[in-house]
């Protein structure tokens, strides 16, 4: 009887823990290959819901990765980062900006492969997102990349396809951040 009770408790813990860690998976199909991302709706619910709203409405179809920030193409920035940025949607179809889910609250940091929302001011993120290449702590809350120190809203990570992310990054000209032509995002879909 004691063994059955312990087994029951263990099973209950596994079920509870796995539902608390629920993740969403999406595939970013690009002209250079596929990138699989895992999203964390329990930790960053607003940001994940926003991203999935664009995914489900098929608004990322035929958008692009249009920008790559490398160590060589940001001469005026004292704090250097490495990211690729994409997902600009037709301005007539952009949803309202979302509140910034700070890394100090979510615990999701800008590590190698992290996907995060691009923004200008806090609470201004809409559709554009970026993927980190190498760890980028200056993009976390308190980081020095933005003068406001609020960081960016990390909401998932690349689980497969970092080779594609690096391929995209390497296409950026040494002194320019914007691709000519940009790298096509064929679609982003839930897996």
Q: What is the pLDDT of residue 2?
A: 52
Mean pLDDT of the chain: 90
Contact 103, 116 (CB under 8 A): no
Neighbours of 149 (CB within 10 A): 13
Q: What tokens does 143 get?
A: 């980081």
Q: Which residues contact 109 (CB under 8 A, 6 or more apart)?
A: 103, 135, 137, 140, 154
pTM for this prediction: 0.88
pLDDT at 44 exceeding the cut of 80: yes
pLDDT in tens, 142-156: 999 999 999 999 999
């Amino acid at each position: 009887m004691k063994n059955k009770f312990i087994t029951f408790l263990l099973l209950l813990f596994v079920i509870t823990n796995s539902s608390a860690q629920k993740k969403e998976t999406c595939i970013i199909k690009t002209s250079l290959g596929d990138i699989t991302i895992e999203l964390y709706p329990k930790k960053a619910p607003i940001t994940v819901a926003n991203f999935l709203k664009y995914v489900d409405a098929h608004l990322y179809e035929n958008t692009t990765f249009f920008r790559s920030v490398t160590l060589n193409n940001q001469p005026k920035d004292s704090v250097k980062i490495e990211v690729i940025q994409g997902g600009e949607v037709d301005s007539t179809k952009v949803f309202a900006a979302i509140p910034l889910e700070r890394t100090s609250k979510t615990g999701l940091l800008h590590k190698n492969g992290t996907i995060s929302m691009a923004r200008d001011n806090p609470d201004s993120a809409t559709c554009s997102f970026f993927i980190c290449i190498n760890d980028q702590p200056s993009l976390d809350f308190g980081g020095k990349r933005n003068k406001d120190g609020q960081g960016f809203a990390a909401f998932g990570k690349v689980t497969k396809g970092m080779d594609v992310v690096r391929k995209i990054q390497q296409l950026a000209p040494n002194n320019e951040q914007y691709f000519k032509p940009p790298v096509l995002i064929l679609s982003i879909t839930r897996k």
